[in-house]
Amino acid sequence: MCLGSLKNELLLSKLVVNFFFRKFWRDGNLFIDGWGFISVKKIKLVRDKYLEIYNKDDYIEANDEEFFNVLLEKLDEEILEFKSDKNPEELVDILETIYALAGFINVSKDELEKIRKEKADRLGAFNKRLIWIK
């Protein structure tokens, strides 16, 4: 049996197993539904109330690994958006994403703020606008 054939059999096995346990299987942006239809979709973390606003069939709940990865992608996305338009709402989105990442590693908002203050006391903040030229 060649490696490509083995890989296809493993993929098919994974698809069958996941069909029974999840609505659909995904690998990155590749979605395979329970009937074997393949589509490429954009994956985007959205706020909880989107379920009330838009069609509920368009959402899935991420597992831990997926959630952590989309949080990191969301942080990149929000930083790029803030760089582009300097909108304070983008800063709020960055902050919300950071809080979610902190929660993922079991650090509360209060603990995060305590760590921030301790580091600022120890090393300072960015108030003096110092740039280190190496």
How far apart CA 83 and CA 90 sit, in angstroms, is 9
Cα first-last separation, the chain: 55
For residues 64 and 49, membership in a common domain is answered with yes
Mark whether 73 and 14 lie in a shared domain.
no
Answer yes or no: is pLDDT of 19 > 60.
no
Check pLDDT > 50 for residue 116: yes
Pair 26, 32: CB distance under 8 Å: yes
Cα–Cα distances (Å) from 126 to 27, 62, 121, 131, in that order, read 40, 36, 12, 10
Entry field: residues in the chain: 134
| Whether residue 58 sits in one domain with residue 35 | no
- Please determine, for residue 13, whether its predicted confidence score (pLDDT) is greater than 60: no
Comparison of pLDDT for 123 and 28, the residue scoring more: 123
> Do residues 19 and 56 share a domain?
no
Q: In total, how many domains does the chain have?
A: 2
49: pLDDT strictly greater than 80: yes
For strand 38-40 and strand 24-27, is the pairing parallel, antiparallel, or unpaired?
Answer: unpaired
- In this prediction the pTM is 0.68
Assess whether 116 and 134 both reside in one domain. yes
Boundaries of domain holding 29: 1-41
Token pair for residue 97? 């994403």
